[in-house]
Amino acid sequence: MESFDIAVIGAGAAGMMCAAVAGQLGRRVVLIDHSQRLAEKIRISGGGRCNFTNLYAGPANFLSANPHFCRSALARYTPRDFMALLKRHHVTWHEKHKGQLFCDQSSDAVINVLKNECDAGRVAWRTPLAVEQVRHDAEGRFTLDTHSGPITARALVVATGGLSIPKIGATDFAYRLAKQFGHKLIDTRPALVPLTFAPADWEPFSALSGVSLEVQLATGSKKTGAEFNEDLLLTHRGLSGPGVLQISSYWQPGEPIQINLLPEQDATSALLEAKTGTRRQIANLLSEWVPQRLAHVWLETHQIPAEARVADLPDKTLRRVGEALSRWTLTPNGTEGYRKAEVTRGGIDTRELSSATMMSARTPGLYFIGEAVDVTGWLGGYNFQWAWASGVAAGQACAEYVLGA
C-alpha cells in the first residue's frame, strides 16, 4: 500500500497547480489521472495557444448559484500572480482582445510550467491510473482503490473537471464522489457552446454558414440574463462564435435570444434617412452594414425584393426592417452538447465548501476544485483563472490541514 500526505485526482489545470503548491510546501503529494496524455484541455485551449487568464477577471465574470463563493480565492491568486509564474519560466504572452492573454508559444509551454512546478514540489505521478473507489476510515484517512493497488492519504483533492469533451477524458467522477460524501449538485449543462435551431427554422440561414459579424446578443431577464457585444458566426446548424458561446451559458431552454445586427447605429433611423437624396437599392445599402450574403437572405426572409429602391419603400416597411435588424429574435432548440461545449455549467454546490480553502464542510480533508464545482467563467481566460486560483487555495489549505490531521 502506497501512502502520501495528499492525493490529488485529476492532473488538469487545477489539479497540477494544487499538487505543485502543496508539494512545494513540503508535503508528500501524489497526482493521479486516468488519461494517457497530460492536461489535454490546456493543450487544445485557445486554439492551441492557451488563453491562460484575463487581466480583468473578477467575480462578476462567473456564473454560480452562490455568486460570492469565488471571490476569496480569486482575490488571493490574481492574473498577475499567474503572469509572474510564467515569467519565472521565461514564457511570454500577448493580449488579444478585452484582456485575454495568450501564450506566444504553444499551450505546451503552460503545461511544462505546471509540470516543472510539480517536479519542484517532488510530486509523485500516477498516470494513467483509474481510481475505482474511494474509502474514508474512522481515523479520517482516504484510501483510493486503483487497479495497481490501494493508495492512502490524509487529504484528498478532487480536480477531475466537468463533462465537456468526453472524447479527451472528461467524466462525472467528481460529481459521483461528491454525492458519495453527501454533497448536493447544481444541475449541470453544456456552456460556452454553439446553439442549434429546428431545421425548418434554420433552413433559410443554413446557406450562410461561415458568415461572421460583430453583434450585440442578449438573453433572459435583467436579473438572470446577460448581454454581450462580440462576434457571431453562422453555421449549418445554427449559431456559434464568441458572442453566442458567451450567451449560451445564460440561455435557458425554451427561451429566445435577441440579436442586434447593427449595434453601432439606430437601424430604423438610418433606413428612413437613406430615403432622401438616394436612388439606392435596399440590398446595396444593407450590404454596407452587414455581410452581403446575409443582407440578401435577410431581405428574402422578410419578403422584400433585393432590387427595391429605398426611396420607393413605405416608411412602415423600413421600420419593420430596422426593427428586425436591431432585434432579431430566435429561439434555439438546443445546443451542440458536451461534445462541443468548452465548459460545464453547474456542478458541486459551493454552499457546502469553504470559499477560503475549498474544503468540504461535511468531510474534513476532502477538497473540490476547478471546473467540477459550480463556478463557471465567461469565455476569455476566466475558467483557467478559476482553476489556478482554486488550485492554489486548496494546495495551501490541504498542506496546512495534514499537519494537524
Could you list the residues that contact ligand FAD (CB under 6 A)? Answer: 9-15, 32-35, 39, 41, 44-46, 50-51, 130-131, 159-161, 164-165, 169-171, 173, 342-343, 370-372, 381-384, 387
- Nearer Cβ to ligand FAD (231/255): 231
Strand 212-219: give its sheet, edge to edge.
328-330, 257-260, 212-219, 226-234, 238-240, 195-196, 334-335
Distance separating alpha carbons of residues 384 and 53, to the nearest angstrom: 6
Segment holding 227, helix H or strand E = strand 226-234
Contact 338, 344 (CB under 8 A): yes
CB of 340 to ligand FAD, least distance (A): 8
Of residues 161 and 322, the one with the C-beta less far from ligand FAD: 161
Task: Considering the complex, state which of residue 5 and residue 172 has its C-beta at the smaller distance from ligand FAD.
Answer: 172
Q: How far is the CB of 44 from ligand FAD (least distance, A)?
A: 5
Angle at 203 between CA 199 and CA 204, to 5 degrees: 155
Closest to ligand FAD by CB, 36 vs 303, is 36
Whole-number minimum distance, CB 364 to ligand FAD, in Å?
A: 22
Which residue is listed with cell 496546512?
A: 400
- Least Å from the CB of residue 292 to ligand FAD: 31
Distance from the Cα of residue 388 to its chain's centroid: 14
Q: Which is nearer to ligand FAD, 173 or 367 (CB)?
A: 173
Q: Tell the smallest beta-carbon distance from residue 52 to ligand FAD (Å).
A: 7
- Give the Cα separation of 43 and 103 in Å (integer): 11
CB of 170 to ligand FAD, least distance (A): 6
Distance CA 325, CA 320 (A): 9
Least distance in angstroms from the C-beta of 242 to ligand FAD: 11
Q: What is the phi-psi region of residue 394: left when phi exceeds 0, alpha when psi lies from -120 to 50, beta otherwise?
A: alpha
In the numeric block, the cell 431577464 is attached to 221
DSSP 241: S
How far is it, in rounded angstroms, from Cα 11 to Cα 34? 9
Residue nearest to ligand FAD as judged by C-beta position: 12
In order, the DSSP letters of 369-396 are -GGGBS-EEPTTTHHHHHHHHHHHHHHH
Residue 57 CB neighbours (<10 A): 26
Nearer residue to ligand FAD within complex by CB, 45 or 326: 45
**Of the two residues 5 and 33, which places its CB atom closer to ligand FAD in the complex?**
33
- Cβ 369 to ligand FAD shortest distance, Å: 7
Nearer to ligand FAD, 310 or 343 (CB): 343
